[in-house]
Amino acid sequence: MVHPALRSVAHRPWPIPQRAWSWRQSWCDLLLAHWRVDVDAVRALVPPPLVVEEREGSAWIGMTPLRLRDVAHRPFPEPPGLSSYTALGLQVCVACEGRSGSLVLGLDLDGRLGVWAARRLLQLPATRARMHADIAPDGVRYRSVRERSTTPAVFDAVYRATSPPFEAKVGSLEHWLAERYCLYARGAEGALFRIDLHHAPWPLQRAEAIVHENDLFRAHGVPEPQEPALVSFVRRLDVLLWSPERIGVAS
């Protein structure tokens, strides 16, 4: 049976991987927040052969608080009580071999099994945190506090959609920031990996966000920008992920 996400592939910038996908999950109540940063502020965080991508004279860092739902590894069903997480990603826009993606600088999760799976099976730099994302009349009230971490950090925000869903126009800044079909990650042993992913075009909504506290930039050695240059909301996006593919060794 074909996964519903595979019914739409023409929008992709490169073909679907020939090998079978490994993970399925849904990204829900997600904020896409992007900040302009000086290229020199993030260059040291991006190991070759990755290169920092620039747009409008800046590098771009994204932060994605969200709720993960229906997480399962193919061919197994969703494990009862272990298929839902709250998550917070920090990433920088990069490219490698002509494939634009996001280098994951940090991924906070609220479950031990989720952290273990992200580290061991997807090679992502996951950290456990106490997190909650409450759906309220004024939007999503989100808070994350890292537990027992060498890089403590708090993220606290309220965000909400302010428009109906739309697909970003090809060539626009919103399209350039959102439509990236792979993640890059540095594994525990220094190897670099690419994780291909697939989904329908992002059903973006205009959004507003009030960030009360944000230590994530400082925790990852990035000078903290002032206000995000662009924020969008996504109610739900069904996503497929492929197992990590080694692409080199970080220098």
Q: From residue 193, how far is each of 53, 103, 161, 182 by CA, in Å?
A: 18, 10, 33, 10
For the four alpha carbons of 68, 70, 76 and 82, in that order, the dihedral sign comes to: positive
* Domain range annotation of the chain: 19-249
If you count them, how many residues does the chain have?
A: 251
Q: What is the pTM of this model?
A: 0.94
pLDDT score, position 1: 66
φ, ψ dihedrals at 176, nearest 5°: -60, -40
**Quick one: DSSP state of residue 200?**
S
Q: What is the average pLDDT value for the chain, to the nearest integer?
A: 93
Rounded to whole angstroms, how far apart are CA atoms 41 and 222?
A: 6
- What letter does residue 107 receive in the DSSP assignment? E
Q: Return phi, psi of residue 18, to 5°.
A: -70, -30
Per-residue pLDDT at 109 exceeds 80:
yes
C-alpha distances (whole Å) from 83 to each of 37, 79, 168 are 35, 6, 30
* Residue pLDDT, tens place only, 204-242: 999 999 999 999 999 998 887 778 899 999 999 999 999
**% of the chain beyond a pLDDT of 90:** 82
* pLDDT at residue number 250: 66
pLDDT confidence of residue 117: 92
How far is Cα 217 from Cα 222, in angstroms, rounded to an integer?
Answer: 5
Q: What is the pLDDT of residues 149-187, one digit of tens each?
A: 888 899 999 999 999 999 999 999 999 999 999 999 998
- CATH number for the domain formed by residue range(s) 19-249: 2.40.400.10
Q: For residue 151, what is the DSSP state?
A: S
| Assigned token pair, 21 | 């996908």
Band (pLDDT 50/70/90 cuts) for residue 131 is very high
Burial class (CB in 10 A: 0-12, 13-18, 19+), 128: middle
Which whole number is the average pLDDT over 193-198?
98
